[in-house]
Structure 1
């Protein structure tokens, strides 16, 4: 029987479901495709923010100095294709569900409407950073790119001078300063942020082979920027639902959520999953890829240098060369591919999976964007 795609922590022990499973393990990127690894259900839990090093509520801010007053603000603090996110992020938020329904296919209770209030019961952390307006390739009107492994997504961000977003950065950009469960408010609406599509039984052997026809059949996404009501208070588009997104972990390694640097945020386009700002999946390693898993990039504000490594990699003393080895390509190589793609010349042979992954051309021409 299929196992549940995405369950809340309280339903972790459920054994069987008609909902979609998520593959685990390390599928190959190049060479002869292997049989997909065993499946394990994802476990959605509400993220508690940067628990590795939370800071106390700093209280009232001191009066700005002359140099601070001259600091750039608003869009000028970030590149044109990014949005500035600034404010106090709460590490743990309390929401009260007012109306819910039970999804039989996924064996999950979905909150349809929350009380229109949010209470911070954790610590407050000051943040100021830039985040891509759209999912990679961060271009309005293009489809979010899927099927990248964590380190491959990381190298693509590095190629444009950015880095992976952390889980709290993604969450804050989604929920806004009011800590809303959805970027558009407190009442769930799958028509505002593309969701609630039925499970469609992927052929996992074909997915492992990156079969373009199967990937096109499975596509239920919409184009970036085509959802005018799926925009957060910070102006960031398409955060929950549509394509799921991978971000970097802020969990301690010795915690139950800290096994991997890779964290999934937002939830995909299927019915009965975690299409909210806070819930996360912590159960898939960095070599995981999937046909609905995308990403976007972040960076430092105000022109400050951006280290492409994640916080965990920095703590562990990783070099960028180590990330390159895990990705399967170098920074120079992906820069070259991205330049070729701009020119419409990022061509690959049918069997060159790595090339297609770098060019973002795995999705077959038969893909049709979702409609509601």
Structure 2
């Protein structure tokens, strides 16, 4: 029997085809953090999970609760606060939002009024319906501190005006004459300081960027508080009128998970 023909082997290692493993990437509306998870680029605005229609950012995203709050403040706004505040009408509740039940879905979009009036469970549901989840505290704080691991998105020390926090006015004081009352009022996030709203649109505060891999997450400090994954109830980051200078370490643990007011919003995370 003839001997088998010899098998030709490559002379150099680089003759073998080398296949580099692909690095997982995040969806376009998210930013990759530490090459291990994704974080929404912007604070969440909400849409109807079924139709994609925009929900009002000025009402709790629950039909029954929104209708109750609308009815309450149609009367209360005429009884509290200075005369000029009583003239400010309620923001409209879209007719479809008052006529049928729905589920919220989180959307990470630029130049949107971020959703306030969110409970922790509704925030979790909105993220789930977007194929995402609530961030853990460590994930959120790591993302906020950026690649350079700083106390603030922009640096090591607090600088006034860099992020939308510690503003010159409090909306409840402006509307009700008392910063401690009426926190379900749908008008609160419409209040202005001078000619500009206290609550800014997503991505508007350009100095407040947490940088990762040549990309950036916006408004992790200030603008609106953000629920995280804690069934005991924790929101982080601070909102525009909160008098705090602790940057990425800012958190509130004084309320249960089902609490909401005008300042409570969310931003979602996602596994790679």
What is the TM-score normalised by the length of structure 1? 0.45
**Is 1:279–2:246 an aligned residue pair?**
no
1:150-200 deviation digits (Å, cap 9, x = unpaired): 000111111111111111111011102332000111132232211221353
Please, which runs of 5 or more residues in structure 1 have no aligned partner? 1-65, 88-127, 250-259, 302-372
Asked if the contact 1:264–1:282 (Cα under 8 Å) also holds between the matched residues in 2, the reply is yes
Aligned to 2:39: 131
Matched residue, 2:200: 222
Q: Distance in 2 between matches of 1:67 and 1:242?
A: 48
Distance 1:238 1:67, change over 3 A: farther
Identify the match of residue 222 of structure 2 among 229, 232, 241: 241
Shift of 1:212: 3.0
Which of 207, 212, 221 matches 2:183?
207
C-alpha spacing 1:241/1:205, structure 2 compared with 1 (3 Å): closer
Deviation at 1:233, TM superposition (A): 1.8
Deviation at 1:279, TM superposition (A): 3.1
Tell me if 1:78 matches 2:56: no
The answer to whether 1:166 aligns with 2:144 is no
Give the conservation status (yes or no) of the 8 Å contact 1:240–1:275: no
Shift of the 279–196 alpha-carbon distance from structure 1 to 2, 3 Å rule, reads closer
- Describe the shift of the 1:228–1:214 C-alpha distance in structure 2 as closer, same or farther (beyond 3 A): closer
Other-structure match for 2:114: 144
Q: Whose Rg is larger?
A: 2
The size of the alignment, in residue pairs, is 181
- Contact kept? 2:119, 2:264, Cα under 8 Å: no
Corresponding residue for residue 146 of structure 2: 176
Asked if 1 retains the 8 angstrom alpha-carbon contact of 2:158 and 2:245, the reply is no
Q: CA RMSD in A?
A: 2.5
Say if 1:70 and 1:269 are closer, same or farther in 2 by CA, change over 3 A. same
Q: Distance in 2 between matches of 1:72 and 1:279?
A: 32
Shift of 1:295: 0.7
**Contact persistence 2:163–2:221 (CA under 8 A):** yes
CA distance in 2, matches of 1:267, 1:243: 6
TM-score by length of 2: 0.60
Distance 1:270 1:198, change over 3 A: same
- Preserved CA contact (<8 Å) 1:199 1:271: no
- The equivalent residue for 1:263 is 234
Cα drift, residue 69 of structure 1: 4.5
Corresponding residue SS for 1:207: coil
Aligned counterpart in structure 2 of residue 288 of structure 1, from 229, 236, 259: 259
Q: How big is the shift at 1:271? A: 5.5
On the 8 A contact 1:195/1:275 being kept in 2, the answer is no
Ranges of 4+ aligned residues in structure 1 off by more than 6 Å: none
1:154 and 2:124 matched: yes
Change (3 A) 1:275 1:245: farther
Where structure 2 has 5 or more consecutive residues not aligned to the other structure, the ranges are 1-16, 46-107
Q: Which has the higher contact order (CA 8 A, sep 6+)?
A: 2
Task: Quote the Cα distance in structure 2 between the aligned partners of 1:283 and 1:274.
Answer: 18
